[in-house]
Amino acid sequence: MKFAVIVFPGSNCDIDMFHAIQDELGEEVEYVPHTADSLEGFDGILLPGGFSYGDYLRTGAIARFSAIMPEVVKAADAGVPVLGVCNGFQVLLEAGLLPGAMRKNRDLAFICKQTQLKVENNTTMFTSCYEKGELITLPIAHGEGNYYCDEETLAQLQANHQIAFSYHADNPNGSLENIAGIVNENGNVLGMMPHPERAVDRLLGSEDGLKLFQSIVRNWRESYVVTT
């Protein structure tokens, strides 16, 4: 499986994402600059964390207009798995690939720490290697991770089982209903604030994030076998 790591001006987790895919997952991966105009040949798209365009206007608001984003949207519409982590999640929200918006953390402070999550839905292509209700530990590092949506959107997320991860016991940023990660209705786009790519080896304090990437590969291979 071949992954693309999209690099925006201000991305700072692109190397972490590259390492997770190449060295821990053992799959092919390439950096793709924000100026590129094609994602042909890639089987998975990864939008890393950081501070794209300095977080001017709103987090992800300028990155959403990068030359590569129409191709990300095109890939998502075609069913290609798209993962946005932290700033990548914010970009996906701004691009309309996921519903809702991000607000500043409840305490108006940047948070950087390990946090415990609960796997709410293990039937997505990103979570199938987890058990439903499994508790996992991933790091967070953000100043605007307070997820919000209106009541109608929340009801849809709940009814369609689109909430993939929630904060367990401690809600660090005030996110609505403890939401830490959501998928789109088709289940092939995941946005999450915690960093799975920083939790792929015990030396990093947790390897719970590796199952997320293993889930993507397993589901891609199963789909590839079926379609070929």
Q: Which residues are catalytic?
A: 86, 195, 197
Length of the chain: 228
Contact 187, 98 (CB under 8 A): no
Contact 164, 120 (CB under 8 A): yes
Q: Give the whole-angstrom CA distance, residue 26 versus residue 58.
A: 35
Query: In the chain, which ranges are continuous DSSP H helix?
Result: 14-19, 69-77, 87-94, 151-159, 210-227
- The number of beta carbons lying within 10 Å of the beta carbon of residue 114 is 13
DSSP at 131: P
Buried b or exposed e, range 134-145, using 16+ CB within 10 angstroms: eebbbbbbbbbb
